Amino acid sequence: MALPQVKQTATEERLNALTLPEGGWSAVARADALARVRAMGLPNARDEYWKFTRPQTLVQAYVPNAPVFETDEAPVFKDVDRLKIVFVDGVFDADASDDLSAVENVSITRLAEGGDIHWASALYGTLEARGQDPVDRPLAALNTAFATDGVLVHATGVVSRPISFIYLQNSDASDAILHHCVKVDAGCEVTILESGPAAARYNTCLETDIADNATLHHVRTQGRDHDRRAATANFARLGKESTFKSFTLTANGVLTRNETVIELTGDDAVAHVAGACIGDGDFHHDDTVFVTHDAVNCESRQVFKKVLRNGATGVFQGKILVKEGAQKTDGYQISQSLLLDEDSQFLAKPELEIYADDVACSHGSTSGAIDDEGLFYLRSRGVPEGAATDLLTLAFLAEAVEEIEDETLAEEIGGLIETWLMRRRG
């Protein structure tokens, strides 16, 4: 089916502004992805899947200016013993990064390193392509085609230190496209961390293939760079009895679209995806999640919490699809917003689609104001209004933060939220 002319023109305009990287082993996947982009067209405001979020500035060739965010805040995860891999405006910084071979039980290479044969050639673009059905995700296909770099992680044992992707921004007009692949072999375990402002605009894609009995933890922070625009897509495929736990904290950012696509393909697998976000002012944050149950006795959990004020907008589109035969599915989804004023809004579209009869799925979505009774109780004990509001905000976000299994990381995130709330209060 031919694309509408407007869409085709917009798509070609963007494609013309990009150069297809020398592919090496990824060339075939990139060519396929480019064909997918051309067939789907890049998103526009008329697409159902972009009903709540305007994709224009994520799609257009021109990158709206985003001043580099100056802060004296300590780097996120600084007290975590991790392997650091640093990208500045999407470009690998070898000097700032650790030796990629410094951790045992894992092989780490970079997408831009090229070479001829690579284990990642079986993964690169594969989960992204699978994730295009039943909903188009053209920005992710664009990423596969044009990613300039990324990290390829192959865990072949229990990896003792988290692998930490650190993003830094140096230019007001940078446009970064990074694509990471993580393959966790059967019975193996690894933790991936992501943090920092990547660029004025960035598009990141993370494909994670989790084999039987394997575990992948993913903890990510986005913020507090005010003017950046981000589109991210995480694709996870889970084997038998495997575990995937992903958490994202977002603060500020004028536009963020985080897509998570999870496919439970082995029996008894567990996938949790959670997000906490703090939006203030000109802020639009969109969590779009699609979980497919295609095996027996799997568990999925989606826990999303947003605190919004001064006209901030939060979006949640979450779907649980239970395929035929995926009996004993336990699917849970909750999305909640705390609206600190009447200018802010939360738009939620929770969906269940179930083709098996023996399943337990629940979803809920709420929007609420701060609890006046609780606020007065705290103030009557001497806690000033601002601090009391922060404490209640922290408590509200806690349910999402609790999804982080590792206590050190959970504390790190909790502390970060506290700092960010306090900063906002001044």
Partner 1 sequence: MLEIKNLHVSLEEEDKQILKGVDLTVEAGKVHAIMGPNGSGKSTLSYVLSGRDGYEVTDGEATLEGEDILEMEPEERAAAGLFLAFQYPVEIPGVSNNVFLRTALNAQRKARDEEEMSAGDFLKTIRAKSKSLKIDADMLKRPVNVGFSGGEKKRNEILQMAMLEPKMCILDETDSGLDVDAMKLVSEGVNALRDEGRGFLVITHYQRLLDHIKPDVVHIMADGRIVKTGGPELALEVENNGYADILAEVA
Residues within the interface to partner 1 (CB under 8 A): 371-374, 376-385, 387-388, 391-392, 394-396, 398-399
Q: What does DSSP say about strands 91-92 and 83-88: parallel, antiparallel, or unpaired?
A: antiparallel
Query: By C-beta, is 38 or 379 nearer to partner 1?
Result: 379
Dist. CA 77–CA 225, nearest whole Å: 17
Per the CB < 8 A criterion, the answer to whether 375 and 343 are in contact is no
Minimum CB separation of residue 71 from partner 1 in Å reads 25
**What whole-number distance in Å separates Cα of residue 391 and Cα of residue 383?**
9
Report the 10 Å Cβ neighbour count for 327: 16
Write down the least CB distance from residue 52 to partner 1, Å: 27
Q: What is the distance of C-alpha 105 from the center of its chain?
A: 25
For 425, how many CA atoms within 13 A lie in the half-sphere containing its CB? 15
Is 330 or 399 the residue whose CB approaches partner 1 more closely? 399
At 19 the three-state DSSP class reads: coil
**Which of 324/385 has CB closer to partner 1?**
385
255 with 58: CB under 8 angstroms? yes
Shortest distance in whole angstroms from residue 5 CB to partner 1: 52
For the chain, report the end-to-end CA distance as a whole number of angstroms.
54
Question: Residue 285 Cβ, how far from partner 1 at the closest point, in Å?
Answer: 21
Instruction: Name the residue among 255, 278, 272 with its Cα closest to residue 424.
Output: 278
**Measured from the CB of residue 306, what is the shortest distance to partner 1 in angstroms?**
15
Q: Which is nearer to partner 1, 56 or 365 (CB)?
A: 365
CB of 372 to partner 1, least distance (A): 7
* Shortest distance (Å) from residue 359 CB to partner 1: 29
139 or 392: whose CB is closer to partner 1? 392
Name the residue among 279, 275, 263, 377 with its Cα closest to residue 322: 263
Residue whose CB is less far from partner 1, 116 or 373: 373
Would you say 48 or 372 has its CB closer to partner 1?
372
Instruction: Dump the DSSP string for 104-117.
Output: TTEEEEEGGG--S-
